[in-house]
Amino acid sequence: MINNASTLNNKRRIGIMGGTFDPIHFGHLLAAEESHRELELDEIIFIPTGQPPHKCKISSQEHRYDMTLLATAGIPYFSVSRMEIDRGKPSHTIDTLRELKAIMGNEVEFCFITGLDAMLSISSWKEYMELPHLCRLVTVTRPGYSPKNLHELPQQIREAIVFIEIPRFSLSSTNIRERISEGKGAKYLVPDAVEDYIRKCRLYLSHK
């Protein structure tokens, strides 16, 4: 496991931030921002999942895509891709990385960014042992999960992990959906533009 940019090579480095983003919140943005800074990434592409294999009742793809666009607007090194949404099938990280590699070629080093919770469940992902051939597995701290548990992952996965300590943000989309359904709102948990969007589209008023 490595924990700084020095051992990465000189290729163009692109961060990939996948997520359901239902809704996108400051925990996601902080994970991306800290990875960008620590690993000197050239850019970060946010990729909202189309149909996540592990989740059933989620907001429409277009709402999640629009909120991700609003949250990242104005940050020159952040962009949003529709590739998983437009695929129209369940989204798997391995398929996305293969597609990106085919488009961008070998001169790019991909850094797939996840929170610790997601990395600890990597063995449930499709063809997960192939991922180290395609990308670095950038893993950021997430409250409630211990980095010690990373040692239980297979060695090939561990060797691809770049672990980054970020300020612990005890925040999840589930928690935000619950708060909104209870009338508490999401101020200071999501960007203002996302909060406005949630209110105007009347999202999450009944918790799923």
Residue 102: CB atoms within 10 A of its CB come to 8
- Using CA of residue 2, residue 164, residue 92, residue 146, what is the dihedral sign? positive
Q: Parallel, antiparallel, or unpaired for β 43-48 and 78-80?
A: parallel
Selected from 12, 174, 182, 184, the binder of ligand ATP by CB under 6 A is 174
φ/ψ of 142, rounded to 5, equals -140, 130
Closest CA to 195 of 187, 203, 205: 187
Beta strand 161-164 pairing with 108-115: unpaired
User: C-beta of 116: minimal distance to ligand ATP in Å?
Assistant: 7
Contact between 156 and ligand ATP (CB under 6 A)?
A: no
Q: Which stretch binds ligand ATP (CB under 6 A): 99-107, 168-176, 185-193, 197-205?
A: 168-176
Q: Which is nearer to ligand ATP, 36 or 142 (CB)?
A: 142
The CB-nearest residue to ligand ATP is 115
Smallest separation (angstroms) from ligand ATP to the CB of 45: 13
**Nearer to ligand ATP (CB atom), residue 13 or residue 28:** 28
Number of C-beta neighbours around residue 108 at 10 A: 16
Site size toward ligand ATP (CB under 6 A) is 18
Query: Token pair for residue 148?
Result: 């010690």
By CB under 6 A, name the one of 27, 72, 97, 189 that touches ligand ATP: 27
Residues 40-79 as x/- pattern, contact with ligand ATP by CB under 6 A: ----------------------------------------
Would you say the C-alpha torsion 27, 93, 46, 150 has a positive or negative sign? Answer: positive
Establish if 15 lies at the interface with ligand ATP (CB under 6 A).
Answer: no
Gyration radius from the chain CA atoms = 17
Contact 25, 189 (CB under 8 A): yes
Q: Should residue 118 be labelled a site residue for ligand ATP when binding is judged by CB under 6 A?
A: yes
List interacting residues with ligand ATP (CB under 6 A).
Answer: 19-22, 27-28, 31, 114-115, 117-118, 140, 142, 169, 171-174
